[in-house]
Amino acid sequence: MTFRFDNSWARNLPGTFLRLDPSKAPEPVLLAWNQPLAEALGLGDEARERAAAWFSGAEVPPGAEPVALAYAGHQFGGFSPQLGDGRAHLLGEHIAPDGRRWDLQLKGSGRTPFSRGGDGKAAVGPMLREYLISEAMAALGIPTTRSLAVVATGETVWRDGMALPGAVVARIAASHIRVGSFQFLATRDEGAKLGALMDYTIARHYPHLAPGDALGLFDAVAARQARLIAEWMGVGFIHGVMNTDNMALSGETIDYGPCAFMETYAPGTVFSSIDRQGRYAYANQPLILGWNLARLAECLVSWFAVDEETAVAIANQRLGGIAALYRAEWVGVMRRKLALDGEDAGDGALADDLLAAMQGQGADWTLTFRRLARAAEGEEAPLAALFADATALRAWLPRWRARLAADAPARLRAANPAVIPRNHLVEEALAAATVGDMAPFEALLAEVRRPFAAEVGRERFTLPAPTGFGPYVTFCGT
């Protein structure tokens, strides 16, 4: 089986896209192919054999109807009424054997009317980065878009005066409906089209809701987003560019630009070169969750109630509950990461106190939680060794042990990864791939796909960056 395209977006949502084909890559070469994902999508050998052509823009797959999607967005707090796919083309929607619908999008596939002066292209490094990090997130059990393939185009892309090899990533997503998709229509006062988008979103992602149930849609999106951000926080993931156009209503992580995983626990950690004010710092991500949901509420509020004053009151009431909604999800994540027995009202404070003990002590986020398993077995020294001063940690441990589940060591190892995409290893892999050596990338990919496996034999992938690496800075990859 190859693709079974349906293309309902292009059929049902006029005024939200422009039809155009991707740019044709002159010499496409397949760099990475996601065989497990291909099998889950029901794709056979033909898809892999045609991957270099189909996923580079050289050819359009049979049945695809390429479009560039229109959306608006708040970028670092400033509103742009028209953004859109400036270097991406939605080829269509593939129906998998289980009946699920998946967007197939090319990223780095050439200029569109939304490019705003950009060349519409992408380099090998950022496209492989999206593949690598999204596969890591999927293995960690965190909702995410995924990469089906990365194809070198044979073109040269210029970035900051450097000539880099060009590439395209083929991205699979539950959909590319964003908060910015709603903002695009709301700011134009396109009420009928906004209603159509709302009903389309409900049918595609929340079919238990009735058409027109804007409040139900908002509540469902808020619940998924709160759960998603709590999961990010649990693994130390920093998205880096939580603009409203990067917030998917499906509840998936989308757009892996300047993202990275925090190593030393520091709430103010920022990696993105363009986030100079720390708007999207690690500790701010739950706050931005609420801010972005407020922007969605602004688009939907007129459907919350017939009376405007009542509708606004409902919106404010829902937004006022976002912090508590997130907190409940975060405490749930921390209960799992700490292997606590059942639920107790003091569990949130217990988790907070561990973080307080970690802060300022140089403790590695991932290793701290992973080594809790050894502490649960009575071996505290490896955990304490992560702290410059373990006094507060040692005071905390008896309180934690009093709440442990009977099978805590096994639970802890199942909930806390040994391997994440360590920043120095990511850079090493991408630098090698840029000059044609894919071996480090493939080795790292294999390890991040089994994050919870035992450390033995792969210690190199479990340790923080060596002294002298950093400060680490990421870039958006445009």
Residues labelled catalytic: 245
Measuring CA to CA, which residue among 57, 60, 72, 95 is closest to residue 172?
95
Cβ(164)–Cβ(54) below 8 Å: no
Residue showing tokens 């005066």: 161
Note whether 21 and 77 are within 8 A (CB): no
Q: Give helix then strand counts, H and E, for the chain.
A: 18, 11
**Is 112:120 a contact under the CB 8 Å cutoff?**
yes
**DSSP state for residue 274 in the 8-state scheme:** T
Residues 138 and 106: beta-carbon distance below 8 Å? no
- Dist CA 280 CA 243 (whole Å): 9
8 A C-beta contact, residue 328 and residue 351: no
Contact between 382 and 319 (Cβ < 8 Å): no
Phi then psi dihedrals of residue 337, to 5 deg:
-70, -25
Q: Closest Cα to residue 253, out of 264, 263, 262, 241?
A: 241
Q: Which residues contact 462 (CB under 8 A, 6 or more apart)?
A: 366, 367, 370, 418, 419, 455
Which tokens belong to 56?
Answer: 């580079």
Two structure tokens written together for 300: 């939907």
| Three-state secondary-structure class, residue 118 | coil
Residues 6+ away with beta carbon under 8 Å from 303 = 195, 198, 212, 214, 215, 311
Phi and psi at residue 163, to the nearest 5° = -90, 120
Please identify which residue in the block is written with the tokens 């292209």.
121
Indicate the helix (H) or strand (E) that contains 383: helix 381-384
Q: What are phi and psi of 417, to 5 degrees?
A: -70, 150
On whether the CB atoms of residues 33 and 149 are closer than 8 A, the answer is yes
C-alpha pair distances (Å), 357 with each of 256, 377, 386, 395? 31, 21, 11, 9
